[in-house]
């Protein structure tokens, strides 16, 4: 990770490895407005009004609105009304709107896109690809991740990846070597134990990641298993027992955050994480979240890969953090496709949007942004390219009924951490419930 | 009244009441202090006293949103709350009067049904209700939030019923002997005598409407119609980065209207009926 | 004739509510009853499955059992404390004394924060392991647990939050106290009654309608408490489902797991439970609630 810092200049071309089918980057780096792709203006006299919903914080709202204004300028006749809010309740509102047949034409979607595809709530964009919608600059994997049954249901807005977010200043203070690209669970354990020991009471090497689905998935990859593929789980009871044993060992050594402290200060909530006040050195996070964390602390934060297992790296290829999707019931599919195209391909829009939704998926836009990236941007870009180099070329399959699975893992982890159950009996219960979930998913 | 021992006791008493009150307000002080702390200090420093005062969060929160100022959200919220207060007080007191004073068939059944409406968790009627409002074109207007207030809220109807039933019925009888109809009785006797309850209902309606995040979130989409709770959430992306400084600063401001309403309103219900009533 | 005129007056005053009930409430309520017999994921049309949701609730959902237990614990502990606290302070703050308005406002401020987003962060400042509460009891040499995060205690921090926000109940008590005619006390003073006799003979009996109201409403509301548990546990009901109040679980089922049919069935079960409790309250009320209007 360290020596990677040295080559930040070439980081974006490294990211470009992501986009195998990228058309190269010769004409990038300009924000001349000369070529708004697919920008034939709407037929005169026809006013089209679209609605677009997204979640985010004030900065994302501002940038998105600016981009929309630019689009409206370039496309007289189309107006887009933003319906934006924080994340709280976003999905609830969307579900309500879909239930009433009143959803916005353009919808920002998260990792649960498949659920909405299965329920036929989203529009197939395939007919527009190559015409109005240009995805030539997109890496195949990113397009695939929104392709189901040979139909395309969304366009990636930002690339991210699961990661270990760490407080580099704490490592330095404790005199512990920073994580390397090759580190193993043994390295992880010894670093965590050492940091906790050196920094003293109230300081921990790591959060308890036993409840983190992404970390578990990578662990299973590292031992030659998988979380899920094609209707079945691809792990056994002893794999999960082994998983919880690692965290149990660390817990006993005082190297990870005790259960009660973790619940009170969950790493998933940026404002409560103990990473920002220098009490915990490592936590799991989606890589693009580093912006939110870094804002709250003077310490230097960085990103590391999940540790390797005996079968090598279990990292998952970079994923689409967010998609822009179209509502199945939209009356103006063409204008919607046109806007999506603008949103991800227009160089000016790219500059306006920056990396507010993760690393931009289009190679050209990434090159444009390279010139003006901040140090945190660089850490993120660097990391994403590292992941795409390291992760095995397997298409990751999410566990079905993702929300229920996540909750199940969390409760299991809490039962063990709070000593309400032994590892063995908690895992037994976990396996039973997992199989129930699989049955339920099949029945749907 | 002024005896030394008594004075001492009174000082101790005031100190206790004030002291306990201030302890209870600790979280509020924390909120206040966080709203003027530099961002990096909010979650990393334990001290209530900021190392440096900044009013940046206030200006970012108020002016920081594109094409809209936070003031707009305040106006919307105030408008919504005032209409809600008027609607609730009128409709609830009417229904309460019927339930408490007038004998008519099915009265108890209706009262039970009314209480039933607040026993069913709102989350399951939300979707059908939304679909209904969508069909009549009310979504993204204030109407779905206002109309129910003009129906009368079971909570307040029940509250006012209890107060009306605390008024001796002899008053009704004597009024009737004087030739008063139901309307005169309602307006001239019952309403003035249940004034504390009405003020209470008004204050609670104001605050409940002010705080109702979920309903407003579901029904309002256009940012120009956003209210304060929705405006606050604009700074909060729990899945990514949040502007907590602005959230705290605007939270402080968002408490003010309710605080002012309460402070002014409580004068009225402390007067009681001994001075306001019995003139009718 | 006079009788029908009275009926007409009754329905006339009830008209706004009747219209609203029929047009705004009735159809969503019936819809939710219908949905409770379906499988409904919000995104596609509901499918009729008969009693399956109700069967599943009683046979195949251990979390529901946990959730009901937690909810009863919450209700049984928070309601009495909240009421006692509120009544005590209302009586205290009902005396004629200086700075009354200020004190009332101070004690009411916590309720103003209501379901504010800031509450989750604020509450942590108080009840975390190193929070102000533990620092305070640390003075007396007690080492407190992590009140919000230990599954054994998390529900108590929730109860604490509910008691802390006793303001609205207090206000209703205050309004009730104010409704008691001052003349009665004056007359009693003339008769030589002391504070305690006045309390037992005047305050208590005349306050019973308001006590009854507060008790009933607080019960109904406590059974449905959602926002507090949602905010404090970050929507999870954790740790280990220890704060998984009934309404929170219902919300998770309906909106997160997209099983609105099941959530609707849960809602109707809750309705039955709450209605039964409220019914009992009304039945007993005739023995202890005193109405000045002479009706029972």
Identify the three-state secondary structure at position A228.
Answer: strand
Same domain, A336 and A354: yes
Determine the Cα–Cα distance for residues A298 and A92; give it in Å rounded to an integer.
35
Mean pLDDT estimate for chain C = 88
* Inter-residue contact A108 to A84 (CB < 8 Å): no
Tell whether A441 lies on the interface with C, counting CB pairs under 8 A. no
Work out the pLDDT band at A224, boundaries 50, 70, 90: very high
Same domain, A192 and A148: no
Judge whether A30 lies within some domain.
no
Q: What is the pLDDT of residue B272?
A: 52
Per-residue pLDDT tens for C253-296? 999 899 999 999 999 999 999 999 999 999 999 888 888 776 65
Residues of A in contact with B214 (CB under 8 A): 89, 92
Mutate to test the interface with C, among B42, B109, B124 (most CBs of C within 10 A): B124
Work out the pLDDT band at B238, boundaries 50, 70, 90: low
B240, A270: Cβ pair inside 8 Å? yes
Judge whether B56 lies within some domain.
no
Judge whether C1 lies within some domain.
no
Give the nearest partner residue to A420 out of C42, C124, C151, using CB atoms: C151
Judge whether C134 lies within some domain.
yes
Per-residue pLDDT tens for A251-286? 999 999 999 888 888 888 777 789 988 999 999 998
CB pairs under 8 A between A and B: 123
Considering chain A, what percentage of its residues have pLDDT values greater than 90? 55
Judge whether C9 lies within some domain.
no
CATH number of C142's domain: 1.10.3720.10
Same domain, A299 and A177: yes
Determine the Cα–Cα distance for residues A373 and C233; give it in Å rounded to an integer.
37
CB pairs under 8 A between B and C: 274
Residues of A in contact with C154 (CB under 8 A): 263
CA distance A204 to chain C (A): 16
CATH number of A94's domain: 3.40.190.10
- Count of domains observed in chain C: 1
Residues of A in contact with C258 (CB under 8 A): 95, 115
Q: Which ranges in C60-181 belong to alpha helices (H)?
A: 62-92, 100-113, 118-127, 132-138, 154-164, 167-179
- What pTM value is reported for the model? 0.87
Q: Is a pLDDT exceeding 80 seen at residue A225?
A: yes
Determine the Cα–Cα distance for residues C153 and C141; give it in Å rounded to an integer.
19
Per-residue pLDDT tens for A64-117? 999 999 999 999 999 999 999 888 889 999 999 999 999 999 999 987 888 899
Give the nearest partner residue to B247 out of C42, C118, C278, using CB atoms: C118
Of A411 and B46, the one with more pLDDT? A411
Tokens representing C266 are: 């849960």
Per-residue pLDDT tens for C44-60? 889 999 999 999 999 88
C129, A260: Cβ pair inside 8 Å? yes
Determine the Cα–Cα distance for residues C27 and A385; give it in Å rounded to an integer.
55
List the Cα angle C263/C265/C270 in 5-degree steps.
95
Identify the three-state secondary structure at position A108.
Answer: strand
Q: What is the pLDDT of residue A23?
A: 33
Determine the Cα–Cα distance for residues A400 and A115; give it in Å rounded to an integer.
9
Q: Is a pLDDT exceeding 90 seen at residue B197?
A: no
* Inter-residue contact B71 to B62 (CB < 8 Å): yes
Tell whether A102 lies on the interface with C, counting CB pairs under 8 A. no
Tell whether C27 lies on the interface with B, counting CB pairs under 8 A. yes
Average pLDDT of the residues in A340-345: 93
CA distance B117 to chain C (A): 8
For residue B121, give its domain range.
Answer: 71-276
- Count of domains observed in chain A: 2
Per-residue pLDDT tens for A297-307? 889 999 999 99
Tell whether C183 lies on the interface with B, counting CB pairs under 8 A. yes
Q: What is the pLDDT of residue A388?
A: 85
Reduced to 3 DSSP states, what percent helix, strand and coil does chain A have, rounded to the nearest 5?
A: 45, 15, 35
Q: What is the pLDDT of residue B269?
A: 64
Judge whether A28 lies within some domain.
no
Judge whether C17 lies within some domain.
no
A partners (3+ CB pairs within 8 A) are: B, C
Judge whether B141 lies within some domain.
yes
Judge whether A128 lies within some domain.
yes
Residues of C in contact with B229 (CB under 8 A): 117
Same domain, A364 and A412: no
Of A14-28, B240-254, C212-226, C227-241, the least confident: A14-28
C 14-73 near A (Cβ less than 8 A): 41-44
Considering chain A, what percentage of its residues have pLDDT values greater than 70? 90
Judge whether A282 lies within some domain.
yes
CA distance B67 to chain C (A): 24
Residues of B in contact with A83 (CB under 8 A): 221-223
CATH number of B93's domain: 1.10.3720.10
A 414-433 near C (Cβ less than 8 A): 414-415, 418, 420
Work out the pLDDT band at C123, boundaries 50, 70, 90: confident
Judge whether C47 lies within some domain.
no
Average pLDDT of the residues in B26-43: 82
Judge whether B40 lies within some domain.
no
Rg (CA), chain B: 24
Judge whether B32 lies within some domain.
no
Judge whether A114 lies within some domain.
yes
Identify the three-state secondary structure at position A270.
Answer: coil
C112, B255: Cβ pair inside 8 Å? yes
C24, B148: Cβ pair inside 8 Å? yes
Closest residue in A to C255 (Cα–Cα): A92
Judge whether C245 lies within some domain.
yes
Same domain, A340 and A260: no
Same domain, A111 and A100: yes
A414, C238: Cβ pair inside 8 Å? yes
C258, A410: Cβ pair inside 8 Å? no
Q: Please state the φ and ψ torsions of residue A233, each to the nearest 5 degrees.
A: -75, 150
Q: Is a pLDDT exceeding 70 seen at residue B102?
A: yes
Choose among B236, B228, B255, B261: nearest CA to B62.
B228
Determine the Cα–Cα distance for residues A106 and A321; give it in Å rounded to an integer.
17
C 227-266 near B (Cβ less than 8 A): 247, 250-251, 254-255, 260, 263-264
Judge whether C26 lies within some domain.
no
- Count of domains observed in chain B: 1
Of A27-41, B196-210, C45-59, the least confident: A27-41
Average pLDDT of the residues in B261-279: 61
A261, C146: Cβ pair inside 8 Å? yes
Q: Is a pLDDT exceeding 50 seen at residue A17?
A: no
Q: Is a pLDDT exceeding 70 seen at residue A232?
A: yes
Work out the pLDDT band at B270, boundaries 50, 70, 90: low
A407, C236: Cβ pair inside 8 Å? yes
Determine the Cα–Cα distance for residues B229 and C114; give it in Å rounded to an integer.
11
Of C179 and A24, the one with more pLDDT? C179
Q: What is the pLDDT of residue B239?
A: 63
Q: What is the pLDDT of residue B140?
A: 92
Judge whether A188 lies within some domain.
yes
Q: Say if strands A48-55 and A78-85 run parallel, antiparallel, or are unpaired.
A: parallel
Same domain, A184 and A197: yes
CA distance A272 to chain C (A): 8
Q: What is the pLDDT of residue C117?
A: 64
C43, A403: Cβ pair inside 8 Å? no
Determine the Cα–Cα distance for residues C54 and A97; give it in Å rounded to an integer.
27
For residue A289, give its domain range.
Answer: 162-315+399-443
Of A44 and A141, the one with more pLDDT? A141
Per-residue pLDDT tens for C232-246? 888 888 788 999 999
Tell whether A112 lies on the interface with B, counting CB pairs under 8 A. no
Choose among A110, A126, A280: nearest CA to A203.
A280
CA distance B242 to chain A (A): 6
Give the nearest partner residue to B120 out of C29, C175, C176, using CB atoms: C29
Rg (CA), chain C: 23
Q: Is a pLDDT exceeding 80 seen at residue C168?
A: yes
For residue C129, give its domain range.
Answer: 61-288
Same domain, A345 and A435: no
Of A178-187, B235-244, C222-231, C238-247, the least confident: B235-244
Give the nearest partner residue to B40 out of A81, A269, A297, using CB atoms: A297
Same domain, A201 and A326: no
Residues of A in contact with B144 (CB under 8 A): none
CA distance A286 to chain B (A): 9
Average pLDDT of the residues in B250-264: 87
Mutate to test the interface with B, among C2, C118, C183, C253 (most CBs of B within 10 A): C118
Same domain, A310 and A345: no
A414, C145: Cβ pair inside 8 Å? no
Q: Is a pLDDT exceeding 90 seen at residue A40?
A: no
Of B171 and A211, the one with more pLDDT? A211
Judge whether C83 lies within some domain.
yes
Tell whether C121 lies on the interface with A, counting CB pairs under 8 A. yes
Tell whether A412 lies on the interface with C, counting CB pairs under 8 A. no
B125, C32: Cβ pair inside 8 Å? yes
Q: What is the pLDDT of residue B158?
A: 93
B214, A92: Cβ pair inside 8 Å? yes
Residues of B in contact with A279 (CB under 8 A): none
Same domain, A429 and A363: no
Judge whether B10 lies within some domain.
no
Tell whether A343 lies on the interface with B, counting CB pairs under 8 A. no
Q: What is the pLDDT of residue B22?
A: 82
Tokens representing C212 are: 């009854």
B partners (3+ CB pairs within 8 A) are: A, C
Report the half-sphere exposure of A108 (CA within 13 A, side-chain side): 22
Judge whether A432 lies within some domain.
yes
Same domain, A134 and A199: no
Mean pLDDT estimate for chain A = 85
């Amino acid at each position: 990770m360290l020596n990677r810092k040295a080559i930040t200049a070439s980081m974006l071309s490294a990211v470009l490895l992501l986009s195998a089918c990228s058309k190269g980057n010769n004409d990038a780096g300009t924000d001349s407005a000369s070529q708004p792709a697919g920008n034939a203006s709407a037929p005169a006299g026809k006013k089209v009004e679209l609605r677009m919903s997204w979640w985010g914080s004030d900065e994302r709202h501002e940038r998105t609105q600016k981009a929309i204004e630019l689009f409206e300028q370039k496309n007289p006749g189309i107006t887009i009304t933003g319906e934006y809010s924080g994340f709280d309740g976003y999905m609830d509102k969307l579900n309500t709107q879909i239930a009433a047949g009143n959803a916005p034409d353009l919808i920002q979607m998260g990792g649960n896109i498949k659920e909405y595809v299965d329920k036929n709530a989203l529009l197939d964009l395939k007919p527009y690809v190559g015409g109005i919608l240009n995805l030539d600059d997109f890496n195949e994997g990113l397009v695939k991740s929104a392709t189901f049954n040979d139909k395309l249901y969304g366009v990636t807005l930002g690339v991210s990846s699961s990661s270990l977010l760490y407080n580099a200043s704490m490592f330095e203070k404790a005199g512990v070597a920073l994580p390397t690209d090759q580190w193993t669970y043994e390295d992880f354990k010894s670093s965590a134990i050492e940091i906790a020991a050196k920094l003293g009471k109230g300081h921990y090497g790591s959060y308890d990641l036993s409840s983190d689905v992404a970390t578990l998935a990578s662990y299973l990859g590292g031992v030659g298993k998988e979380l899920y593929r094609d209707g079945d789980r691809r792990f056994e009871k002893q794999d999960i027992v082994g998983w919880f044993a690692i965290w149990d060992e660390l817990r006993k050594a005082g190297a990870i955050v005790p259960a009660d402290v973790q619940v009170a200060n969950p790493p998933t909530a940026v404002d409560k994480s103990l990473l920002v006040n220098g009490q915990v050195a490592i936590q799991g996070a989606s890589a693009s979240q580093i912006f939110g964390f870094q804002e709250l602390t003077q310490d230097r934060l960085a990103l590391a890969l999940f540790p390797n297992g005996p079968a090598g790296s279990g990292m998952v290829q970079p994923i689409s953090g967010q998609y822009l999707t179209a509502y199945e019931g939209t009356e103006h599919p063409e204008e919607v496709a046109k806007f999506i195209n603008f949103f991800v391909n227009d160089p000016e829009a790219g500059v306006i949007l920056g990396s507010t939704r993760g690393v931009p998926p289009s190679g050209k836009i990434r090159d444009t942004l390279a010139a003006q990236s901040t140090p945190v941007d660089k850490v993120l870009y660097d990391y994403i390219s590292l992941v795409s180099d390291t992760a095995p070329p397997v298409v990751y399959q999410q566990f079905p009924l993702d929300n229920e699975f996540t909750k199940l893992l969390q409760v299991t982890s809490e039962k063990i951490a709070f000593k309400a159950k032994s590892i063995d009996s908690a895992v037994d219960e976990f396996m039973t419930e997992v199989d129930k979930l699989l049955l339920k998913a099949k029945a749907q | 009244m002024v005896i030394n021992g008594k004075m001492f006791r009174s000082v101790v008493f005031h100190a206790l009441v004030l002291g306990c009150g201030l302890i209870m307000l600790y979280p509020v002080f924390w909120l206040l202090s966080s709203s003027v702390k530099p961002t990096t200090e909010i979650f990393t420093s334990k001290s209530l006293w900021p190392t440096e005062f900044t009013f940046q969060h206030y200006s970012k929160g108020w002016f920081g949103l594109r094409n809209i100022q936070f003031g707009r959200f305040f106006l919307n919220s105030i408008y919504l709350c005032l209409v809600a207060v008027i609607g609730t007080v009128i409709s609830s007191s009417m229904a309460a009067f019927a339930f408490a004073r007038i004998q008519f068939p099915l009265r108890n059944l209706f009262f039970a049904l009314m209480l039933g409406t607040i026993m069913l968790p709102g989350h399951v009627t939300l979707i059908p209700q939304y679909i209904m409002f969508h069909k009549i074109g009310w979504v993204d207007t204030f109407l779905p939030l206002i109309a129910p207030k003009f129906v009368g809220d079971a909570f307040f109807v029940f509250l006012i019923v209890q107060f009306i039933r605390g008024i001796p019925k002899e008053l009704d009888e004597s009024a009737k002997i004087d030739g008063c109809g139901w309307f005169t009785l309602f307006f001239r006797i019952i309403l003035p005598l249940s004034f504390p309850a009405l003020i209470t209902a008004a204050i609670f309606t104001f605050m409940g409407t002010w705080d109702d995040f979920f309903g407003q979130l579901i029904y309002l989409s256009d940012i120009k119609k956003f209210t304060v709770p929705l405006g606050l959430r604009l700074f909060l992306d729990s899945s990514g980065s949040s502007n907590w400084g602005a959230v705290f600063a605007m939270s402080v401001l968002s408490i003010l209207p309710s605080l002012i309403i309460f402070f002014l309103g409580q004068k009225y219900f402390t007067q009681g009926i001994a001075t306001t009533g019995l003139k009718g | 004739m006079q009788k029908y005129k009275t009926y007409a007056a009754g329905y006339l005053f009830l008209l706004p509510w009747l219209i609203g009930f029929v047009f705004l409430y009735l159809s969503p309520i019936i819809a939710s009853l219908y949905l409770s017999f379906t499988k409904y994921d919000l995104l596609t049309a509901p499918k009729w499955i008969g009693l399956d949701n109700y069967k599943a609730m009683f046979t195949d959902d251990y979390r529901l059992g946990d959730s009901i237990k937690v909810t009863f614990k919450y209700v049984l502990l928070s309601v009495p404390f909240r009421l006692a606290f509120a009544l005590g302070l209302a009586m205290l703050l009902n005396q004629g004394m200086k700075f009354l308005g200020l004190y009332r406002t101070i004690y009411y401020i916590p309720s103003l924060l209501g379901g504010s987003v800031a509450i989750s962060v604020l509450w942590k400042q108080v009840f975390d392991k190193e929070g102000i509460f533990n620092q305070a009891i640390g003075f007396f040499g007690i080492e407190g647990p992590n009140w919000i995060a230990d599954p054994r205690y998390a529900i108590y921090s929730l109860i604490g939050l509910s008691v802390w926000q006793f303001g609205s109940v207090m206000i209703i008590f205050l309004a009730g106290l104010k409704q008691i005619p001052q003349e009665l006390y004056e007359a009693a003073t003339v008769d030589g009654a002391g504070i305690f006799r006045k309390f037992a003979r005047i305050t208590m009996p005349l306050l019973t309608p308001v006590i009854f109201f507060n008790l009933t409403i607080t019960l109904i509301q406590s059974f449905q408490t959602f926002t507090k548990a949602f905010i404090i546990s970050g929507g999870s009901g954790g740790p280990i489902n220890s704060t998984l109040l009934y309404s929170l679980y219902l919300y998770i089922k309906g909106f997160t797991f997209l099983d609105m049919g099941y959530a609707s069935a849960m809602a109707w079960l809750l309705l039955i439970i709450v209605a039964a409790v409220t019914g009992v309250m009304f039945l007993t009320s005739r023995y202890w609630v005193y109405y000045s209007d002479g009706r029972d």
